[in-house]
Amino acid sequence: ETGVTQSPTHLIKTRGQQVTLRCSSQSGHNTVSWYQQALGQGPQFIFQYYREEENGRGNFPPRFSGLQFPNYSSELNVNALELDDSALYLCASSLGQDTGELFFGEGSRLTVL
């Protein structure tokens, strides 16, 4: 069974740039959620994708957007990067949109200079 994989693992961008982060869900999981984890804090929910549609969104501005593909993999896009966007971005997959268990990838660490 393949777990959740994310890429890239680390990246550095400058303020105003755009970034795309990628996630492959765990085998058999059809739902993907994205979380932002700032240093020293718990993960904060960004949004969830189920059957290629956004299915729930946290308190993040529209410049955070995403996609889910037919194979259930997903992308997180962030436009007009700000310094405060520096964080670990975690992808989590689950079996179904309302299951009570999330399985996380190792994350993509974004640094915005």
Partner 1 sequence: GQQLNQSPQSMFIQEGEDVSMNCTSSSIFNTWLWYKQDPGEGPVLLIALYKAGELTSNGRLTAQFGITRKDSFLNISASIPSDVGIYFCAGYNYGQNFVFGPGTRLSVLP
DSSP calls for 1-46: ----EEE-SEEEE-TT--EEEEEEPPTT--EEEEEEE-TTS--EEE
**Per-residue x/- track, 41-80, partner 1 (CB under 8 A):** xxxxx--x-------x-xx---------------------
17-46 residues near partner 1, rule: CB under 8 A = 33, 35, 40-45
Q: How many CB atoms lie within 10 A of CB 73?
A: 17
- How many residues of this chain interact with partner 1, rule: CB under 8 A? 24
Q: Which residues bind partner 1 (CB under 8 A)?
A: 4, 33, 35, 40-45, 48, 56, 58-59, 90, 92, 98, 100-107
